[in-house]
Structure 1
Amino acid sequence: KYFQGTLSPKGITTIKQGNDSCCIFEGFMDYLSYLTLKQKHNPKYPNIEKQDYIILNSVSNVSKGIDIISGYREKYCYLDNDKAGASAYEEIRNKYGLNVSDRSVHYREYKDLNDYLVGKKQVQEKQQSRGMKR
């Protein structure tokens, strides 16, 4: 097992390379997974310098990141495939409209980009009614 966490208080991490597009990640492991996937799919030209990066470190930081995100023409969201990730995406999309792209569709069967990288699919929990009816 590996530890994946941050020390409090959680803040936003930005990696600016002077671009007009940015990739937005929920956590740092997702950002590192993105870089790994870019390198894996195109080792000679991974193009990791073509955009800036914003790591929220928690979806609770979305409102803090709105001003940072505003400076970009194109915004690519690599958020988790859960309610919190969907809510964060909607908040960004409601603010910036069509210039926001939900990239989680590329790893829809996985919890997040890191799980996609390591091939760990989501387990769908089935709600079963147990017990006796009264």
Structure 2
Amino acid sequence: MTEWNAETYKAFMQQNHLVESRAVKSFIREAAKQMRWVKIYSDYMASDPNPVTLSFMDKADKDRQEAIKMALWVATEEKKQGWKFLENGQEYVNNLMLKYQGDLTKCTKEERLTEQFIDELDQQSRRQNKQVSKRLSRKKERIA
């Protein structure tokens, strides 16, 4: 099994001529967040080794690797489909609305799952952007 980190991620993206879309970047931000937690737990383990912190560190590392795998999967799927989930997602949903004359209950299972995935990605991206703006405003307050 591949140990997914920044180097293997970049190499995979280049080898397969994949593009970092907004959805891909969202998963990469999640991986970076989990990596920060791994470092925090690691520093804590250095001063006070215990099994609970170790289990938290392992979970954060697994979550980090899963986020990187998802980023690569999304990039691969976007390349196969020829469109990006977040950038072109609304257009996809609009086309479904036209196709089914506004009744999305007639969608195929795959279309419904794709629409739900786009919605979840959009929510994830919005949450991350909200967190970033909160951090920026706190930094501005400290500076002022």
Please say which structure displays the higher CA radius of gyration.
2
Higher helix share: 2
Shorter-chain TM-score: what band?
Answer: 0.3 to 0.5
Return the structure number with greater relative CO, CA threshold 8 A, min gap 6: 2
Give the alignment's TM-score, normalised by structure 2: 0.32
Per the normalisation by structure 1, the TM-score is 0.33
More strand by share: 1
